[in-house]
Structure 1
Amino acid sequence: MKQLLEVLGFLALVQGVAGLVHEFTHWDWGLVQRLDFLDGYEVYASIALLVLSFALFAAAESRKPG
């Protein structure tokens, strides 16, 4: 379970960073800008993904190994 939380946290971190990089540099990568229902809210979604990733990492650290 701990490894699953870490993997999900890493994916959320990468997608959050990718969304912010896309907004400020217009590089075309990441998932956030490809979702039509987030049109106009990409920065907020990317920040939410970053917060989610930190929460997932904290939850993973609180779990026992194994």
Structure 2
Amino acid sequence: MKQVLEFLGFICLVQGVAGLIHEFTDWHWGLVQRVGFLDGYEIYASVTLLVLAFALFAVAESRTSG
């Protein structure tokens, strides 16, 4: 379970960073800008993904390995 949480946290972290990079530099990569209902809210969604990533890392760290 710990590895699954870390993997999901990593995916959220990468997508959050990619969304912010897309908004500030117009590099076209990441999934946040491709989701239609997030039009106009890409920065908020990216920051939310970053917060979720750190929360997932914290939960994974509190779990025991066994």
Shift of 1:41: 0.0
- Any gaps of 5 or more consecutive residues in structure 2? none
In structure 1, what is the equivalent of residue 10 of structure 2? 10
TM-score, length-scaled by structure 2: 0.99
- Any gaps of 5 or more consecutive residues in structure 1? none
Partner Cα distance (1:5, 1:23) in 2: 27
- In structure 2, give the amino acid aligned to 1:40: G
Detail structure 1 runs of 4+ shifted over 6 Å in the superposition: none
The percent of aligned pairs where both chains have the same amino acid is: 76
Count of matched residue positions in the alignment of Structure 1 and Structure 2: 66
In structure 1, what is the equivalent of residue 56 of structure 2? 56
Q: Over the residues paired in the alignment, what is the CA RMSD in angstroms?
A: 0.4
- In structure 1, give the amino acid aligned to 2:24: F
In structure 1, what is the equivalent of residue 33 of structure 2? 33
1:1-50 alpha-carbon deviations (Å, 9 max, x no partner): 00000000000000000000000000000000000000000000000000
